[in-house]
A and B are shown apart, each in its own frame.
Chain A
Amino acid sequence: MDFFANLAAGLSIALQPMNLFYCFLGVFLGTLIGVLPGLGPAGAMSILLPLTFKMPATTAIIMLAGIYYGAMYGGSTTSILVNIPGEAASVVTTLDGYKMALQGRAGPALGIAAFGSFIAGTLGIVILQVLSPPLVSVALRFGPPEYFSLMILGLVILTYLAQRSMAKALLMAGMGILLGMVGLDNISGRPRFTLGIPKFMDGVGLIPLIMGLFGVAEVLINMEKKLSRQFAQAPISHLLPSLEDWAQSKWAILRGSVIGFFLGILPGGGAILASFVAYALEKRLARNPERFGNGAIEGVAAPESANNSAASGAFIPLLTLGIPSNVLMAILIGALMIHGIAPGPTLMKEHPDVFWGVIASMYVGNIMLLVLNLPLIGLWVRILRVPPSILFPLILLFCILGSFAENYSIIDVAMMLFFGIVGYFLRKFDYEPAPLVLAFVLGPLLETNLRQSLILSDGSFGIFFSRSISLACLLLALILLLTSFIPSIMKKREMVMEEEV
């Protein structure tokens, strides 16, 4: 009963004209960003964050969330038509999607990607809606030690799932915590690691950091390559999948939805991991696995369903615990805080309009995406033909705009350039920037909870081991850390990651 009452309350907010408009704008821009290789949803959300300052909080989050799940839809278009994933979660879609396009089946590939995304996205939201209230009541029992241990576990899982060296990912997480310390100490008021620069008293800005590491670094890396796009030449027709296509894809969509949702909850795992796991599972379960990689429609349906469902799952830690599971959720936390709303277990009780309004808007957004994507496929294809020589300078300009618009300060642009160059070298040396950004966001929270826990326990670290949830999180983190450094497991993990890459 509560389910429908909450849904009705949420829909009454989501269907208000202004929220509908910004939901549409969000999913439209998200699809556009997903289609264009180079600027990911993190960059797009950062650019648009200043635009949301004057909006009501619910409207702002509805739009930003729309960009997130919209990008998951859009990413499949480039994967299928150009063999270039629009964003990382669509990498695996290129394997069979592009092959289908080469065989003249671009239409059904795009169609099943859109329908699969819609079904999975909607299923994901249903699970999100059902699971959120009980999880919130559990989260309300969390104290500083539980939060601290949970964040440690989150960071360890994130680095465990890193695509390359785990030591490098852990090092990045450590650097993220250090970067998060820059500025005034909340408790003592002492400046830390400011290098005598007054601007650093406020700390390092999240937006210049994200814009630099993800936007500018991407531009710099792409600038040194000769990019050419090979379009599948066959005309796009018959977007509606046939009955046979549906029969082949139905279980892939369902399995992808469930796997995607639960992997989406994992910190750092999210949509990318979900799409890889869903694809691998379908290949393993298939009667003729050799079809995979040669244009199997399940190879498109499973990862596309999984990455959309994971987008819904990623909201669980944000809405129930106030902890971001990925960089995009960290931006959403930033947006909530700008509007004076503390994310976490109290969100559902104190701001039910935001909580249920955002969830309900995701149902509406998913319908919009389905209606938008199929008829507008021609538009997306035309946008795809924008040459990189124009695209990359424009992306750089939007990064400058996004960094500048946060505080109208050119120093933020300088900071963005600095992190852009850092990001370029990180990529060159195989260091992933995602653990750094997430640890940067979690760093101050981690410090506050650590200090509070130690004050509570009168200086004893035993507090982390005497509480069952905290102990379980730390034990799991320790097991993951230890197993990742055992040579045989390390080798196997590296093999799996290499296969995925």
Chain B
Amino acid sequence: MDRWIDFSSFIGRISIELSRLAADRKKSPEGEGLNADRISAVFWLLVGGSALTGSISLGLGTTREPGSGFLSFLASSFVCLMALIIFLQSLKKSPGAVPSLQDRWRGAQWKRPLAVSLFTLGYILVFGILGFALATFLLMFVLLRALEHLPWKWALIISALSTGFCYGLLRISLEASLPKGILGI
């Protein structure tokens, strides 16, 4: 029995050590990991490159009569050049000098901005169906209640007041015609 207990505690200790090792591997130390500047430079190189191709297809014209793609060609070439400089600078700097991709989000509650973006996207999608008033009220309520955990009463009051203010401003001050949606307001 005692042997069995020793064996199980041994296995338990090993599994704890293994999970610790795995966690340490996942959590790269500061400065290590994917170089953020290098990644952003590659991204801008791609953006600049596609703008460059777009400019050429628009037509560069001549210096006497510059075409639609003339300035955008110069600007996109410039973007590519700067992206290249940023890339080369990132190679020159020591690994710890530039924060890694992981460092940028270390300790940040990234799910919250993601949730805000998704809620706002949802608002845009249901805007025409629910109408301005209901969609705005729901967006505010969800943000205040689900994301900020405000008490029900306060979430309802602030959502109603802020929606009412925006509705009044648009309908009365600016005489805007707003989508009425299912509620008809």
**Chain A positions near chain B (C-beta within 8 angstroms):** 50-51, 53, 165, 167-168, 170-171, 174-175, 177-178, 181, 185, 187-188, 190, 192-193, 216, 219-221, 223-226, 389-390, 393-394, 396-397, 400-401, 404-405, 408, 410, 413-414, 417, 420-421, 424, 428-429, 431, 443, 446-447, 450-451, 454-455, 458-461
**Residues of B contacting A460 with CB < 8 Å?**
63
**Chain B positions near chain A (C-beta within 8 angstroms):** 36-37, 40, 44, 47-48, 51, 54, 58, 62-72, 75-76, 78-79, 82-83, 85-86, 89, 104-105, 108-110, 112-113, 116-117, 120-121, 123-124, 127-128, 136, 139-140, 143-144, 147-150, 158, 162, 166, 169-170, 173-174, 176-178
**Residues of B contacting A400 with CB < 8 Å?**
120, 123, 136, 139
Closest residue to A413 on the B side, CB-wise? B124
With A394-B162, A429-B104, A454-B66 already in contact, the answer to whether A223 and B58 are too (CB < 8 A) is no
With A177-B71, A424-B113, A458-B64 already in contact, the answer to whether A167 and B82 are too (CB < 8 A) is yes
Cβ-defined contact, A446 with B36, below 8 A? no
With A178-B76, A408-B176 already in contact, the answer to whether A223 and B68 are too (CB < 8 A) is no
Q: How far is the CB of A43 from chain B (nearest CB, A)?
A: 15
With A393-B144, A417-B121 already in contact, the answer to whether A405 and B108 are too (CB < 8 A) is no
**Residues of B contacting A190 with CB < 8 Å?**
58, 68
Closest residue to B47 on the A side, CB-wise? A175
Given contacts A175-B47, A177-B75, A178-B75, 20 further A-B contacts (CB under 8 A): A165-B86, A167-B82, A178-B72, A181-B71, A181-B75, A190-B58, A224-B110, A396-B120, A404-B170, A405-B174, A408-B176, A410-B127, A420-B120, A428-B105, A429-B36, A450-B66, A450-B71, A454-B63, A454-B66, A455-B65
Cβ-defined contact, A224 with B108, below 8 A? yes
**Residues of A contacting B116 with CB < 8 Å?**
219-220, 223, 396
Pick 18 A–B contacts, CB within 8 A, sort by A.
A50-B174, A167-B82, A171-B44, A174-B79, A178-B51, A192-B58, A192-B68, A219-B116, A223-B109, A390-B148, A393-B140, A420-B120, A447-B71, A451-B66, A455-B65, A459-B62, A460-B63, A461-B63
CA gap between A429 and B150 in the complex, in Å: 32
Cβ-defined contact, B72 with A397, below 8 A? no
Cβ-defined contact, A220 with B66, below 8 A? no
- Choose among A51, A174, A389, A446 the residue that contacts B174 (Cβ–Cβ < 8 A): A51
Cβ-defined contact, A174 with B64, below 8 A? no
CA gap between A450 and B75 in the complex, in Å: 13
With A192-B68, A220-B113, A454-B66 already in contact, the answer to whether A401 and B140 are too (CB < 8 A) is no
CA gap between A396 and B143 in the complex, in Å: 10
Cβ-defined contact, A185 with B174, below 8 A? no
Q: How far is the CB of B24 from chain A (nearest CB, A)?
A: 24
- Would you call the interface of chain B mostly helix, strand, loop, or mixed? helix
Cβ-defined contact, B120 with A225, below 8 A? no
Instruction: Give the top 6 A-B pairs by smallest Cβ distance, nearest first.
Output: A459-B64, A459-B63, A171-B82, A389-B148, A220-B113, A393-B143
**Residues of A contacting B147 with CB < 8 Å?**
393
CA gap between A174 and B68 in the complex, in Å: 17
CA gap between A410 and B170 in the complex, in Å: 14
Cβ-defined contact, B117 with A220, below 8 A? yes
Closest residue to A50 on the B side, CB-wise? B174
**Residues of A contacting B37 with CB < 8 Å?**
429
**Residues of B contacting A459 with CB < 8 Å?**
62-65
Q: How far is the CB of B132 from chain A (nearest CB, A)?
A: 8
Closest residue to A53 on the B side, CB-wise? B174
Q: How far is the CB of A52 from chain B (nearest CB, A)?
A: 11
**Residues of A contacting B148 with CB < 8 Å?**
389-390, 393
CA gap between A408 and B175 in the complex, in Å: 11
CA gap between A177 and B78 in the complex, in Å: 10
